[in-house]
Structure 1
Amino acid sequence: MTPSALLPDAHGFAGNLLTTDTVPAHQRRAYWREALSQTFGAVDMSVPDEVHSGTIRTAPLGPVQATTVEGDPLEALRTRRLIAQGDEDAYVVVKLLSRGVARLEQDTRDVALRAGEVFVYDLARPVRLILPQCFQTKSLVLPRQVLGLSESDLRQITASPLSPDTGLGGLLAVLVSRLADTAGSYRPHTAELLARNVADLLAGLADERLGRSSEGTPSGDAAMLLRIRTFIGRHLADPGLTPEVIARAHHISVRYLHKIFEGEDTTVSRWIQSRRLEACRRDLAHRDAAGLAIAAVAHRWGFASAAHFSRVFRAAYEMSPSEWRAANRP
């Protein structure tokens, strides 16, 4: 495949372009399958026998990747086997269906999608996306740690489409579309800020679905909580991540930090521990970490003591790390 080029366009987009437009008709299907594989990694893609057209544009937005795809019908399936083979499980996709119709299956949900709707899926768990007619999608692919959401919170927003007629749905649709068109054109600081705003909106959506709409909580506290959760996600691997460090990074007192977390029905330290346990649990079930000792996996995510890690893992999941690894071996 010819390397993709860095191309600015009329929208301000500057990123990599893969297109079938310049490929002979008899080579388009093979080219398109390779382009999809190059972009989406360990996903089983079904495409028509005859591919007429297909275009993929990708560009960075800080820690986020913006992707626009348009083309003929296709089906994307990510199974447990493929999850074990790939390294994309640490990412969450926020997608706008800008043209066409679709069907999405994840977390026991099977939903029909129409043009204009925004939806979310998690690459750490099996997912199927069916696009039965010519389509266009615009996506933001976020690292899990940028979101700062627990796995249980994330499940509240997967495969639950947002209509453009709703306030948050309309806002996300415009934001995803615009950022997909202009990603790659921002200065690094601006790109980081925009990526954080997307993460904050998704965290706010999870809070809304869980009935944690910050009722009775000043909006400043809610915004600070979202920023802190994102910060924790980015620094999980640091064993020195403490309430004192978090408070200092956000120019607040430790007492105020604990006050913000009162509404979360947990403490700051427990929140950090639960995010680290989730990261370890994913790694222990992942093929790429099969050669790592359990203690090494624990250390990778900020646990200083292997014995302490084993105790808290068993308390959280009712089995030891080694039992979990054996039960979920790829």
Structure 2
Amino acid sequence: MINGTHLVPRGAEAHPAISFDTRNVPVNDRIDYWEERCAERVVGLHCTSMSESGLEARFEYCDFGSIKMIDIIGNQHVIERSPSLLRRFEKDSVFLTFLRKGTAFVNRAQSCTVLGEGDVVIYDTNKPYMHGFPAQMRHVIYEIPGIDFRKRFPRWELNEAVRFDALVNPTRIVSRALREVVETDLALVETPAQRQSHEERLWNVLETAHAFSNGRARSAYHTAVRARVSQHIEVHLHDPELCPSGISREMGMSLRQLNRLFEGDANTLASLILTRRLQKCHADLARPGPFPKSVSETAFNWGFRNLSHFSKRFRKEFGVTPSALAEIASR
């Protein structure tokens, strides 16, 4: 039997969850059915199962916009994304996976990563891999667009599957943070504002994971302070006075100490603030509506003081002017 809760449908503007279950088809057809449905919604793969009862698996897929969530419950099975499947079913995504139940392994780049309950693993879909579950399992996958991931983390190659242990300090911070996001997504009906916050929390989890992966997070304390700084930035993006010196005073540390927390990042702290503001403006201007959004109002709402400077940086960042994007969104 497959046990577990179903995704609660989201708010009126959200896409409803799409679900399929192999138990609804004859035993001999279950593997083909699973492969076909997965290829349609997530990724092309080959599946095998040694269970005498056949593959018993349930899949629920929810589209949050740029990020997708897949909740899978099943019995013993192995999936493989071979070089031939890479060519047949192209997919440029990064999978952020949380193992809710059971054990698993990921075979990638001639190395095997073993996962326990609560562990987090990150890998991309552009390279061959095998993912297996020896017994009853449940995991949640967040599908991150590859282009967005590389823009945030241009030097994070993901040549191997990256694992974060749920039981060992300090990396269990990643597991705890992602668990909170998962539990929220599986339980709450969301408004559009909550869905936007949801994506921000996922990016914060990835920022923390990136810091550990690149050796910049030296301790649980160091990671917690980085998280506080990131949260402060998100909350105060509307404030035109938001700047590194002000953040350092708020955090009770010197500007030098603050900058050291973010050493090695693709962006300096100041450019991070600018990037997040631009991304917020882009999200607002791109939101569909009957009339074009006000460019000046949007810019000022997210802390920009100089409209000309905003327009130049926006076009450089996204390859389109703010007014053109607003016009497209209103059609």
TM (normalized to structure 2)?
A: 0.59
Q: Distance in 2 between matches of 1:216 and 1:23?
A: 47
**Which of these residues, 67, 72, 79, is aligned with residue 69 of structure 1?**
72
Aligned residue pairs total: 250
Q: Which consecutive residues of structure 2, in runs of 5 or more, have no partner in the other structure?
A: 11-15, 246-255, 273-316, 320-331
- Is 1:105–1:159's contact at 8 Å kept on the other side of the alignment? no
Q: Distance in 1 between matches of 2:224 and 2:25?
A: 57
Is 1:172 equivalent to 2:174 in the alignment?
A: no
- Residues 156 and 217 (structure 1), Cα distance of their counterparts in 2 relative to 1, 3 Å cut: farther
Query: How far apart are residue 264 of structure 1 and its match?
Result: 3.2
Q: Distance in 2 between matches of 1:122 and 1:177?
A: 20
Letter in 2 for 1:68: D
Query: How far apart are residue 39 of structure 1 and its match?
Result: 3.1
Superposed, 1:1-330 pairs within 5 Å as: 14-48=16-50, 51-89=54-92, 91-147=93-149, 148-150=151-153, 152-155=155-158, 158-164=161-167, 166=169, 167-182=172-187, 185-213=189-217, 219=226, 222-223=229-230, 251=240, 263-264=263-264
Q: Distance in 2 between matches of 1:84 and 1:225?
A: 43
Letter in 1 for 2:132: I
Letter in 2 for 1:66: M
- Is 1:146–1:196's contact at 8 Å kept on the other side of the alignment? no
- Is 1:157–1:209's contact at 8 Å kept on the other side of the alignment? no
Q: Distance in 2 between matches of 1:102 and 1:26?
A: 25
SS at match of 2:207: helix
- Residues 127 and 220 (structure 1), Cα distance of their counterparts in 2 relative to 1, 3 Å cut: closer
Percent of residue pairs identical: 12
SS at match of 2:186: helix
Query: How far apart are residue 144 of structure 1 and its match?
Result: 3.1
Q: Distance in 2 between matches of 1:9 and 1:216?
A: 33
- Residues 61 and 10 (structure 1), Cα distance of their counterparts in 2 relative to 1, 3 Å cut: closer
- Residues 67 and 112 (structure 1), Cα distance of their counterparts in 2 relative to 1, 3 Å cut: same
Letter in 1 for 2:85: L
Q: Which consecutive residues of structure 1, in runs of 5 or more, have no partner in the other structure?
A: 1-7, 228-247, 273-300, 304-330
Query: How far apart are residue 33 of structure 1 and its match?
Result: 2.9
Q: Higher relative CO (CA 8 A, sep ≥ 6), structure 1 or 2?
A: 1
Query: How far apart are residue 302 of structure 1 and its match?
Result: 7.5
